[in-house]
């Protein structure tokens, strides 16, 4: 996939989370990692790319097609994407199975039989066989996040967007979730991933967009970014995160 952004601006009050930022990726990019210091704009950019947020200024295109810049168009567009957030966002009163089948029926118009078949297929694929009828409170953090990934994958999204999907997990659970994401990437799923997990991004990403202070400082192939970053800021960022790893 090829992503392009031109003069993107998104404000929260007086704060510009994205400050006229622009970048483009190579057309061969399958997994794009959004990296950078906290508060740099990664989560906001991820939400704009997935049409969860509409920018005040600027535009985004995916494979040459400009994404809608109005609320109604953005709503229609986001239905074709899958989202996974750091807080899981599962419905606490529903089972893992119901968390997946409900949106398949209500949003995507799938029959109850089709929705259950698709949900069971994904839960088993992601190692949750035997946990289908458990509520989130009965699942570990890693299991909850895998259920959230299953829900995002259920409608077969063209783009999967992941916002710090392991930040709330311990190292063992983090490994479980990263293994799932790696398998999805290897299977060809298009992914945009905001993360601080540099070692994982190095393994799975083929393109990196590096943000700081609301602007994209670098956009390059992952191999170039991790071996020869162009800016001193990116060099310091990588050096700081790698120091104790």
pLDDT digits (tens, 9 = 90+) for 141-170: 889 989 999 999 999 999 999 998 887 778
Give, rounded to a whole angstrom, the gap between the first and last alpha carbons of the chain.
31
- State percent of the chain over pLDDT 90: 74
Do 40 and 214 form a contact (C-beta atoms < 8 A)? Answer: yes
The mean predicted confidence, pLDDT, of the chain is 92
pLDDT > 80? residue 31: yes
Higher pLDDT, 5 or 173: 5
Q: Which CATH number fits domain 3-80+158-242: 3.90.320.10, 1.10.150.250, 3.30.930.10, 3.40.50.300?
A: 3.40.50.300
Residues 60-68 have a mean pLDDT of 94
Task: Give residues with Cβ within 8 angstroms of 227, minimum separation 6.
Answer: none
> Using 50, 70 and 90 to split pLDDT, how confident is the model at 244?
low
> Using 50, 70 and 90 to split pLDDT, how confident is the model at 135?
very high
Where are the domains positioned within the chain? 3-80+158-242, 91-157
Angle at 18 between CA 16 and CA 19, to 5 degrees: 70
Residues 52-67 have a mean pLDDT of 95
CA distances from 99 to 12, 102, 189, 201 (A): 31, 6, 22, 28
Do 167 and 155 form a contact (C-beta atoms < 8 A)? Answer: no
Residues 197-215 have a mean pLDDT of 92
């Amino acid at each position: 996939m090829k992503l392009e952004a031109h003069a993107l601006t998104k404000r929260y009050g007086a704060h510009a989370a994205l400050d006229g930022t622009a970048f483009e990726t190579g057309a061969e990019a399958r997994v794009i990692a959004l990296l950078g210091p906290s508060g740099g704009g990664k989560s906001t950019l991820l939400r704009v790319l997935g049409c969860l947020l509409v920018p005040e200024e600027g535009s985004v295109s995916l494979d040459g097609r400009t994404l809608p810049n109005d609320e109604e168009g953005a709503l229609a567009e986001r239905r074709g994407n899958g989202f996974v957030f750091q807080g899981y966002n599962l419905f606490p009163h529903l089972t893992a199975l119901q968390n997946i089948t409900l949106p398949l029926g209500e949003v995507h118009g799938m029959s109850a039989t089709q929705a259950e078949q698709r949900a069971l297929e994904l839960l088993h694929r992601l190692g949750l066989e035997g946990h289908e009828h458990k509520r989130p409170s009965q699942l570990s953090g890693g299991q909850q996040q895998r259920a959230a990934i299953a829900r995002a994958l259920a409608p077969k999204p063209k783009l999967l967007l992941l916002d710090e999907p392991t930040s709330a997990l311990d190292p063992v659970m983090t490994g479980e979730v990263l293994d799932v994401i790696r398998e999805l990437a290897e299977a060809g799923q298009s992914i945009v991933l905001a993360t601080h997990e540099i070692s994982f991004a190095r393994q799975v990403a083929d393109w990196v967009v590096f943000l700081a202070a609301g602007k994209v400082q670098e956009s390059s192939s992952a191999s170039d970014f991790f071996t020869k970053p162009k800016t001193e800021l990116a060099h310091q960022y990588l050096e700081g995160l790698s120091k104790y790893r």
